[in-house]
Amino acid sequence: MTTYESATDRLGRLLTMVPWLMRHQGIDLAEAAATFGVDEAQVVDDLQLLFVCGTPGHMPDDLIEASWEDGKVYVGNADTIAHPLRLGRDEALALVVALRALAAVPGIEEHDAIDRALAKLESAAGDAARDAAAVSVAVDADGHEQEVLTTVRAGLRTHRRLHLRYLVASRDESTERDVDPMRVLNVDGRWYLEAWCHRAEDQRMFRLDRVEEVSVLDEDGTPPQQARPRAVGPGVFRPSPDDETVRLHVQPQAAWVAEQFPVDGVERQPDGSLLVDLRTADPSWLVRLVWRLGGQARVVSPPRLVELVRDGARRALGDPA
C-alpha cells in the first residue's frame, strides 16, 4: 500500500535529513531509514533527489554529493544547509503559543517536558515570546468529552484496543466499532482520535464529542503497519462512500478550494467559475468555509445545507427573516 506524501512533508524531511547525515557519515541505510520513519527505498529516492540539488549555478561543484554504496550513506558539499534551520519570528511565536496551549490541556502527563521546552523557547524567542501572551487558544472539552479523552489517552498509553459507540452524524446513526488508537489531536478547537477502524478495515478520524461510549479492551491495540498519521487541515475527514455529497459553485478567486480538498469532480464554467463535487462526514466545517469565502462560493446542493448557510448568514446580519 502506497502512502501519499505531500511535497511539503518531503521537503521538511530533506531539510532535516541533510544536517543529520552530515553528522553521521557512513551510517547504515537501514538505520537512516528507521530514524526518519520511512523505508530504505524512500531514503534512496531522497538521496537521488539531493544529488541534483544545490546552490545556483548548476555546475557540478554546486550540487550536493550523495552516495549509498554498500548500504552506507555519505553526503557532502552541503555546508550551506549542514546546520538545522533557525526559527523565524512568526515560527517562534506559533511554537510558543502551541506549547502554552498544550500545557493547559487537561490530562497531559508530560508537563515537565513541556515546561522545560517552553522555557528554552521563550528565552531564545525574546520579543516573540512576549507577543504570545496576547494570544489565547481554547482547547477545552466538556465533561463527557473530557472523560472520553481520558479513556482514549489511556488506550494510547497502554497500546490497547478501544471499543467505541460512535454517532455518524450524516446518517444520524450510532455504530459500534473496535479501533486501534494512533493519536489524539485538536483541530480548530475540536478533539479527534485518529485510529485504525476494524469495522471499516481502514484508517478513520473520530470526533470525540460524537463518541457516546468508549472502553479500553484487554487486546493489543497496535495499528497495522500501513496505518500512518495523515496531514490534517480544514475538514479533517477523508471522504468515504457513506459521506454526504455536496456541490459548490466556486468563483475563480476561490478556485483553490478544488485543489486543497479531495473532490469527486470539477466542472469549469464559461465564466471561469467551478462546480465542485465533494463528500463530507461533517457538513459544519463546509458551512463555515462558505461563510468565510463571503460570496466567492455558494452551496448548490443538498437543499438542507443551502438552508444552513442561508440561515447562518441571516443571523450574522441580524435579519430574522
Domain ranges of the chain: 7-81, 89-132, 143-220, 244-316
Domain spanning 244-316: CATH 1.20.120: no
* Rounded CA separation 80/144 (Å): 52
For residue 261, give every residue at least 6 positions away whose Cβ sits within 8 Å of its Cβ, in sequence order, or none. Answer: 234, 235, 278
How high is the pLDDT of residue 164? 95
| Residue of 274, 198, 268, 193 whose CA lies nearest to 237 | 193
Q: Are domains 7-81 and 143-220 of this chain identical in fold?
A: no
CA 158, CA 153: separation in Å to the nearest integer?
9
- Answer whether 64's CB lies under 8 Å from 55's CB: no
What pTM does this model have? 0.43
Please give the grid coordinates belonging to residue 200.
471499516
What CATH code would you report for 7-81? 1.10.10
**Amino acid residing at 140:** D
Each residue's pLDDT expressed in tens, for the chain with a length of 321 residues: 334 456 667 777 888 888 888 888 899 999 998 998 888 888 888 888 877 776 665 565 667 888 887 889 888 877 766 665 566 667 777 777 777 766 666 555 556 777 777 777 777 666 666 665 555 555 555 678 888 988 998 999 899 999 999 987 655 678 999 999 998 887 766 788 999 999 988 888 888 888 999 999 999 999 998 888 776 555 554 555 567 788 989 898 888 887 767 777 888 888 888 898 887 766 777 788 888 887 888 888 888 888 888 887 777 766 655
pLDDT for the residue 1: 37
SS (H, E, C) 161-227: EEEEEEEECCCCEEEEEEEEEEEEEEECCEEEEEEEECCCCEEEEEEHHHEEEEEEEEEECCCCCCC
CATH 2.60.40 fits 143-220, yes or no: no
Helices 89-103 and 111-125, axial angle in degrees (round to 10): 150
Q: How far, in Å, CA of 93 to CA of 131, rounded?
A: 7
